[in-house]
Amino acid sequence: MMWGNWTIVNEFVLVSFSALSSELQILLFLLFLTIYLITLMGNVLIILVTTADSALQSPMYFFLRNLSFLEIGFNLVIVPKMLGTLIVQDTTISFLGCATQMYFFFFFGAAECCLLATMAYDRYVAICDPLRYPVIMGHRSCIQLATASWFSGFPVATVQTTWIFSFPFCGPNRVNHFFCDSPPVIALVCADTSLMPSAEGKRKAFSTCSSHLLVVSLFYSTAILTYFRPRSNNSPESKKLLSLSYTVVTPMLNPIIYSLRNNEVKAALRRVIRKALGPQKL
């Protein structure tokens, strides 16, 4: 398809939080850096503990381990560049770099959506059909479900990124966001991208799944508000705040909500520390 003689855009400029004062940007840098380190350490801790302790080799912790890997990747795609825009004003990103960031953002995001659904199914079977749980959620089934969740990110990321960057970019190159998200990048396209006009048992079960529901609700609600209304009248600043929820806050909460509040994980962590310290007492 011919688009005409458009000016080629070689790089984008991330607006990020440049409208804020330098003092406030430094405070945000320190805040986001702290959250990022907590997220990284929390997820690494979950991976190490659930791998090292033999008592945590159940399907639930197998999926939690996969979730931690996804959260680490999800953060690595977004947060380091965002921190750079805050502390050294490194706001430029190449055309290829923007496409790459968007690709892996979609990849990890789609994979996490599928993995969260898999984890919900795992809890459903454990609560509603406990006698057949070991058969239904056997080792092979868990590997297949986890693999399917990971690979689900490839078609989503490939189709979305290829579609967006197949359009011409001929004018402004300022992305009003702290990373290359699809709505602000699509806004820079020099073509029409619109497709059409604009009881006790229950309580126990809910209590068991409440932490999972909290994470899923937070993750999906903010994503829906961002992507189901890409051309809404909401200000770019409000969209940035929504994006912070699922790119920064949710990954930090996952280790705390899913595992670090879990007595089995805490007991396993103590056992791992005792093994590491040897005969020394904690």
Q: Is residue 19 part of a domain?
A: no
Per residue in 257-281, pLDDT (tens digit) is: 766 666 777 788 888 888 888 765 5
Q: How many domains does the chain have?
A: 1
Is residue 209 assigned to a domain?
yes
Between CA 6 and CA 1 the distance in angstroms is 13
Question: Are 18 and 242 spatial neighbours (Cβ–Cβ below 8 Å)?
Answer: no
Does 109 fall in a domain? Answer: yes
pTM reported for the whole predicted model: 0.74
Is residue 8 in a domain? Answer: no
Residue 208 falls inside a structural domain = yes
The answer as to whether 247 is a domain residue is yes
Q: Which residues contact 50 (CB under 8 A, 6 or more apart)?
A: 56, 57, 61, 62, 64, 65, 259, 265, 268
Instruction: Tally the C-alpha atoms within 13 A of residue 277's C-alpha that lie toward its C-beta.
Output: 10
Give the CATH number of the domain where residue 40 resides: 1.20.1070.10
Q: What pLDDT does 196 receive? A: 42
Q: Is the pLDDT of residue 6 over 60?
A: no
**Residue 205: which domain range?**
25-191+199-277
- Residue 81 included in any domain: yes
**DSSP string of 26-68, one letter each residue:** HHHHHHHHHHHHHHHHHHHHHHHHHHH-GGG-SHHHHHHHHHH
For residue 102, the model assigns a pLDDT of 94
- Residue range 227-255, pLDDT digits in tens: 776 565 667 777 777 778 778 877 787 77
- pLDDT tens track for 117-169: 999 999 999 988 889 989 999 999 999 999 999 999 999 999 999 999 888 88
Q: Is the dihedral of CA 27, 30, 31, 33 positive or negative?
A: positive
3 state DSSP class of 91 = coil
pLDDT at residue 73 tops 90: yes
Q: Which residue has the higher pLDDT, 3 or 239?
A: 239
How confident is residue 200, by pLDDT bands cut at 50, 70 and 90? low
Q: What is the pLDDT of residues 75-114, one digit of tens each?
A: 999 999 999 888 887 788 998 999 999 999 999 999 999 9
Q: Let me know if residue 154 belongs to a domain.
A: yes
